[in-house]
Structure 1
Amino acid sequence: MLDLRVLHYFLTVAREESITHAAEALHLSQPTLSRQLRDMEEMLGKELMIRGPRRITLTEEGLFLKKRAEEILSLASHTEEELRSDDTELNGTIRIGSAESDSVRFLMHAAHDIQARYPHLHFHITSGDGQQMMELLDKSLIDMAVVYGHVDMDKYEVLPCPTVDRWGLLLRRDNPLSQKEKITPQDLWDEKLIVSNQVLQDDNQADRLRVWLKKPFADLHISATYNLAYNASLMVREGLGSCIMLEKIIRVPEDDDTLCFRLLDPPLSDRLLIAWKRFQLFPKGTQQFIQLLKQEKDALEPID
């Protein structure tokens, strides 16, 4: 059986790329550390690292174990934190995996409110696309995922954010389309486009964009894809194309002499979904935070 302590040793070696440096960081002798790693390799029947004259490199099996070890140790640490938490005062860490969106302000506002009451309650935010966040949620490496697109309602509890995000086009000011107030589908048929990789991989989101564009993706000039909006803005700035993205993710000042943002017409919008596992047993801090999110969402939505 894998020992958590030895997994920690292995990750330290993988990070340092040196048994000598890892031994110093772990306050172990080099022979002791080398023996622990050899014993683990013998137990698994796999060579995990190639010991070169200057640096350690991981084998394919070593890379696989590194990824799994990071997940295992993160989950073990969080479990220990939950068990050690003091029920007399809410504390611990609430782990959120989130897509990029201005609507995340809603969660941060609630986080500020609950932390003002319980200062020992902390938050850890991981950013990434929806597929990555749902994978982390399934592995219990985060408590909730904040994503766009379809979420399986049989597996997860879902709370829609109260605000709606609008799609638009980030483009250079020297592009003729910058003279328009809004961008129509026909405007993009001959445009070099930069499109979110998540949108292309999510069937529901891809279908919505295709319907709006009134053309299949194969008939368009998609010059690049992106996961992080900031990198996409650099692509636009350097002339790789114009980027279809959500409003307010990239702040473009009115006096920016290179970039501008124009909304799509007819409007195309999305709503963030906050998802967590059904029947999940959360620490009291996370329970309270979810309850607060529900209360604040109800308070923000108009009563019919």
Structure 2
Amino acid sequence: MELRQLKYFLAVAEELHFGNAARRMNISQPPLSQQVKQLEEELGAKLFERTSRSVALTPEGVFFKEEAKAILERLERAGDTVRAMARGEEGALSIGFVVIINQSLLPEVILDFQQRFPKVRLELKEMTTNYQLKSVRNGTLDIGFIRYHNQDLSGLCKKTYIKENYVLALSDRHPLAGRSEVSLGELTDEPLVMFKRDNLPALYDEIVRAFTRAGMRPRMVQETNRRLTAIALVAAGMGVSPVPESTRRLGREGVTYLPIVEPLPEIEVAAVWADKGGTSVLDSFVAVMESHRHRD
């Protein structure tokens, strides 16, 4: 059974006239009649009652008309969907992110993308940097927003999304809370709340070295990769914590943020995705992301 046979049959079924159906399909009548006859032979059923004056559908023909119409409509919808997917207008996209990105422009990018491409289904996943890199490489994540600090990105595309500095988070009851800035040397014997080393070992070590150079021996009391947890510990007075400047936007009461005099490593959040095998939907998302990145 061929697609053109279904189209020819449906034209006759709707026109109930072989000549009109042939003109509608822009072919001569004999080939159309031949294709309909072949279809009937293949089905082993008579679809039309023909007389010299009229054409009528048989009961089998009435049933087959509805089925053929539904098949052709589904094929048309499938074609429209595939063409939309090829243009990056339809499909699905999985996006990983670290918490830091959620306090930046990512929500604006997501909203803009959904307004431009409402038929694309987005799946947002909060994930650590290392897990995102693994997931992008094994194909279970389309794009990830990671904290970048000299990791191996072989096989991946990378675009810097934002850069920001560290500030010191401390309880507003802390003796230094009223200062306009703080030096690391003033934090001798202060308990520290830090992210876990296994998440970003190179960055962790560089921050610790900065404290050491300032004459302070870091005393870690808590390590957590969840920024809300770190800020809650700071608010409770359990320690101070170097955090990305965007943490201010969390609006946690009882916490003060001070610029740090000594330079700490700059925080870079980057978007990463596989350098081959990307979809048109991914290309569309990257284009929207780029427009916001340049606007920023």
TM-score grouping bracket, smaller chain normalisation: 0.5 to 0.7
Structure 1 residue 206: Cα displacement: 2.2
Aligned residues: 213
Q: 1:216 to 1:210 in 2, by over 3 A?
A: farther
1:219 alignment partner, one of 217, 220, 233: 217
Quote the residue 1:168 is aligned against: 167
1:235 aligns with 2:233: yes
Deviates more, 1:87-96 or 1:229-238: 87-96
Q: Answer whether contact 2:193 2:240 (CA < 8 A) is retained.
A: yes
Conserved? CA contact 1:97–1:126, under 8 Å = yes
User: Match of 1:241, SS?
Assistant: coil
Using the aligned pairs only, state the percent identity: 14
Q: Is the 8 A contact 1:97 1:128 kept in 2?
A: yes
* Counterpart selection for 2:288 from 271, 292, 296: 292
Deviation sequence 1:158-213 (CA, Å, 0-9, x none): 0001x32221121111111212211211122310100011x564232123213321
Q: Say whether residues 1:207 and 2:205 are aligned partners.
A: yes
Distance apart, 1:86 and its partner CA = 3.4
Query: Which of 282, 288, 297 is equivalent to 2:278?
Result: 282
Query: Following the alignment from structure 2 to structure 1, what is the Cα–Cα distance between the partners of residues 106 and 173?
Result: 37
> What does residue 145 of structure 1 align with?
144
What secondary structure sits across from 2:258 in the alignment?
Answer: strand
Q: Which residue of 2 aligns with 1:63?
A: none
- Residues 136 and 171 (structure 1 numbering): CA distance in 2 closer, same or farther, change over 3 Å? same
Q: Does 1:186 align with 2:185?
A: yes
CA RMSD of aligned residues (A): 2.9
Partner SS state of residue 146, structure 1:
strand
1:103-129 deviations in Å (ceiling 9; x for gaps): 763333333223212211132221132
| CA distance 1:285–1:240, shift in 2 (3 Å) | same
Distance 2:295 2:156 in 1: 23
The change in CA–CA distance for 1:248 and 1:88 in structure 2 (over 3 A counts) is closer
**1:272 counterpart = 2:269:** yes
SS at match of 2:158: strand
| TM-fit CA distance, 1:157 | 0.5
Q: Distance in 2 between matches of 1:186 and 1:138?
A: 42
Deviation at 1:93, TM superposition (A): 2.4
What is the CA–CA distance in structure 2 between the aligned matches of 1:92 and 1:282, rounded to whole Å? 13
Q: 1:124 to 1:249 in 2, by over 3 A?
A: farther
1:122-141 to structure 2, matched below 5 A, reads 122-141=121-140
The residue that corresponds to 1:158 in the other structure is 158
- Per-residue deviation, 1:250: 4.8
Cα distance in 1 for partners of 2:138, 2:189 equals 42
Aligned pair in 2 of structure 1 residues 272, 104: CA closer, same or farther (>3 Å)?
farther
- The DSSP-based 3-state class of the residue aligned with 1:182 is coil
1:32 corresponds to which residue?
none
Larger deviation: 287-296 or 90-99? 287-296
8 Å Cα contact 2:170/2:256 also seen in 1: yes
Q: 1:117 to 1:300 in 2, by over 3 A?
A: closer
Following superposition, the deviation at residue 288 of structure 1 comes to: 1.1
User: What displacement does 1:218 show?
Assistant: 10
CA distance in 2, matches of 1:245, 1:157: 27
Provide structure 2 residue ranges, at least 5 long, that are not aligned to the other structure: 1-79
My pick for the range that moved more, 245-254 or 282-291, is 245-254
So what's the TM-score if we normalise by structure 2? 0.63
Whole-angstrom CA distance in 2 between matches of 1:253 and 1:218: 29
- State whether residues 167 and 243 of structure 2, in contact with CA within 8 Å, keep that contact through their aligned partners in structure 1: yes
Q: Distance in 2 between matches of 1:252 and 1:106?
A: 14
Contact 1:183/1:263 (8 A) holds in 2: yes
Counterparts of 1:189 and 1:227, CA distance in 2:
24
TM-score of the superposed pair, with normalisation by structure 1: 0.62
Question: Whose radius of gyration is greater, 1 or 2?
Answer: 2
